[in-house]
Structure 1
Amino acid sequence: MTHLHITSWALGLILLIIAFVMYRKGSKAGKILHMILRLDYLLILYSGGDLIAEYARIGFPSFPLLGELIVKIIAGLWVIVAMEMILVKTSKSKPATSFWIQLIIALLIAIILGFFRLPISM
């Protein structure tokens, strides 16, 4: 399930960039890609939830990295919210700089915890 999760958020980032460019050009394709990205959010949430279930099988009470897992979950949700807000603001021709900064910060937190700190990884 780890590979599905990584593939789905990589696809989400690619769709975010393409939809952002299409919105900036004023193309209707931006709205279509935005809707596809919203479907990808569901795949990200499903695969992330399955990874959380794998950690639950390890056992939460004896799991020493529970705090970091909670931070990773919050950062992952923060990434999704920032991606959505970037496209919503861009579609309304409003500045989205603060959400780009939030996306970068949350993405770094999620990647560092997911790849380098938590035990279920590639």
Structure 2
Amino acid sequence: MDFLTSSTHLHITAWVVALVLFLVGAFVSKSKGIHMALRLFYILTIITGGALFIEAMDYGMGMQYGIKFLLGILVIGMMEMILVRQKKNKPTTMFWILFAVFLFAVLYMGFKLPMGQNFLA
């Protein structure tokens, strides 16, 4: 399983594709296929994130990576809640706000921690 943790590229690709599919599903298409593909990328993102979380124990920052992992799960949860509630024509404003807050927090932590890209040096 070294291919999951040799770099963060697979994980970054998985969550970028998931975000694009989410935005397409939320704003453009109400297709079941988009939602099913998005769920596949949720799973891929969680698997690669979990593998990186296990690898991060070598950095001695398990708590920070654990918080990032939980924030990532919350982002995925908000994405799913938004799409399901939109399909049922229920209000989604609070979920969009939580999605934005959690996404900002997880991206900040991801780029700040040692395994991430160093954009915020």
Decide whether the 8 Å contact of 2:50 with 2:69 is kept in 1. Answer: no
- The structural deviation recorded for 1:32 is 1.1
Counterparts of 1:31 and 1:108, CA distance in 2: 27
Give runs of ≥4 in structure 1 deviating > 6 Å.
none
Higher CA-based Rg: 1
- Residue in 2 that maps onto 1:77: 73
- Is residue 50 of structure 2 the alignment partner of residue 49 of structure 1? yes
Paired residues, number: 110
RMSD of Structure 2 on Structure 1 (CA):
1.2
Give structure 1 stretches of 5+ with no counterpart.
24-29
Counterpart of 1:104 in structure 2 is 100
| Structure 1 position 19 matched with structure 2 position 19 | no
Listed as ranges, the gaps of 5+ residues in structure 2 are 1-6
> Share of identical aligned residues, percent?
39
- Greater relative contact order, per chain length (Cα 8 Å cut-off, separation 6+): 1
Rounded to whole Å, the distance in 1 between the matches of 2:13 and 2:90 is: 30
The partner residue of 1:10 within 12, 16, 28 is 16
Inter-partner Cα distance in structure 2 for 1:2 and 1:77 = 17
TM-score by length of 2: 0.85
